[in-house]
Amino acid sequence: MSLAINHLLGLQNVSKNDIQLILDTAVTFREVLDRPIKKVPTLKGTTVVNLFYENSTRTRLSFELAEKRLSADTLNFSTSTSSTKKGETFKDTVRNIEAMKIDMIIVRHKSAGVPLYLTKISNASIINAGDGQHEHPTQALLDMYSIREKLGKLKGLKICIVGDIRHSRVALSNIYGLKTMGAEVSVCAPPTMIPKNLETFGVKVYTDIHKATRENDVLNVLRIQLERNAGSSIPSLREYHNYFGITSEVIEKNNKDILILHPGPINRGVEMSSEVADGPYQIILDQVTNGVAIRMAVLYLLGTKN
Amino acid sequence: MVIKAKIIDEIGLQRTITRLAHEILERNKGSENIVLVGVRTRGEFLARRILKKIVEIDGNEPNLGILDATLYRDDFRTRLKQPQVSVTDITFDITDKDVILIDDVLYTGRTTRAALDALMDLGRPRTIQYCVLVDRGHREMPIKADFIGKNIPTSLNEEIKVKMKEIDDEDAVYLIEIEN
């Protein structure tokens, strides 16, 4: 069994078999993370570059840890300390890094399509760690893994993505992936945060958080991304919290079986109250642990493919 | 693929497993300090059967774990097909234990090398003893088994096929000739 894809650019057009294989392989690596020696020699001799043109804590650390747990050699690149500041173009940077004989590139960039462009100028295997408002496939995969681990399946589950759908690459990757796996996907947000014609994806749209909580098995709550100018879509953070924030009252009034996910970092008191963020319905830190396992699975499956 | 001979049949396999269980108990003076670790896939079923036998003989039930050594292999870059990984399921501590590593066929010794490395990452056993159903020769590593069901000298264009009822339709060991 090996993946049909050679790069992980997004979950659009990734087959059910491939997603299933990544999720199943991650179970193996999840076990490795519980061992006293949390490291296997599988990618010994493989060199991976983490090319981060945009800030990141979780994703970059998670990828770096996954690479190290697989014994790969890792190089870290971030714009603030690199020659990008001296005016080197993206293409030149990549060509130069590639001249150092590397095998895989993990890329995050503020522009959509950069990972796809990389596949055309590089021979390395490319993994998208978030490109603009396009996709963030490993986040969606770890969300799916976490839901499956907790609820035992994805098919037929009702999963609602709450928050700034329009600006969110996490939302788009989740929609593609979950629909491929046979889940019923919906979104809940103020109309200004919902992209036009979303229904054509077969995605139900809620504008009432109480109804969304009542009618779904899972809420995947997104961060209000102020750095992507989400503030212009809502009157104020406080008003957003009043109408769309997940609080204990919202959960307890509507659905005590709900499972709450959040990709982090959390704006406490905006999309979610602190009580919920630390409470019994959420699996936010499990998601972080599972993220390492998912990234190990993707690195393994792409890195050992002939 | 041509079947050249059925080397062990159902009754033969039962007897072999009984003997292996006795040998393991004899060498280790009982089952107090031993743990069994089966190598996926057929090593797992073999280990379960040997465990059952040990319980029958000794009354005590040692821990049983399942090892997947795929991540420790040395042939990721040379194989055409990507091997499928599955979960290692060893929930007990192997430190200071006598680990009986169990597999179906011993051939080049490369899987054994991978399994040994995998075990060392899980703890520091007192001893690791290697138990195989069939030793077919052609070693490429300095590895030998402590408990052997049957020595079957083979040529390189032959293969040993172990079948076990848990996943196959019968209990048997076949010698197969590969045509190329």
Question: So what's the ipTM on this one?
Answer: 0.72
Q: Let me know if residue B6 belongs to a domain.
A: no
Please state the rounded mean pLDDT for residues A282-293: 97
Q: Which domain holds residue B44?
A: 11-74+84-154
Best of A21, A32, A40 to substitute, by most chain B Cβ atoms within 10 angstroms, is: A40
Confirm whether B63 is domain-assigned. yes
Q: What is the pLDDT of residue B80?
A: 67
Assigned domain for B32 exists = yes
Spatial contact of A125 and A104, defined as CB atoms under 8 Å apart: yes
CATH number, domain of B140, equals 3.40.50.2020
Q: Give me the domains of chain A, ranges plus CATH numbers.
A: 16-135+290-303 (3.40.50.1370), 137-287 (3.40.50.1370)
For residue B180, the model assigns a pLDDT of 66
pLDDT in tens, A114-147: 999 999 999 999 999 999 999 999 999 999 999 9
Is B129 a member of any domain? Answer: yes
Q: Is the pLDDT of residue A226 over 90?
A: no
Instruction: Name which of B167, B162, B164, A19 is nearest B175 in CA terms.
Output: B162
Q: Chain A neighbours among B 7-66 (CB < 8 Å)?
A: none
Q: What is the mean pLDDT of chain A?
A: 93
B121 with A40: Cβ contact below 8 A: yes
Q: Region B97-109: what's the mean pLDDT?
A: 96
| A1 contacts on B by Cβ (under 8 Å) | 82, 84
Contact of A197 with A171, CB cutoff 8 Å: no
Tokens of A60: 């970059």
Quote the number of domains for chain B: 1
**Chain A CB contacts of B71 below 8 Å:** 28, 32, 40-42, 300
Yes or no, beta carbons of A2 and B82 under 8 Å apart: yes
Choose the closest CB to B82 out of A1, A27, A41: A1
CB contact under 8 A, B122 and A32: no
d(CA A33, CA A84): 35
Nearest CB among B76, B84, B88 relative to A31 is that of B88
In a domain, B42, yes or no: yes
Q: DSSP 3-state assignment of A268?
A: strand
Contact yes or no for B71 and A28 at CB 8 A: yes
Inform me whether the pLDDT recorded for A111 exceeds 80. Answer: yes
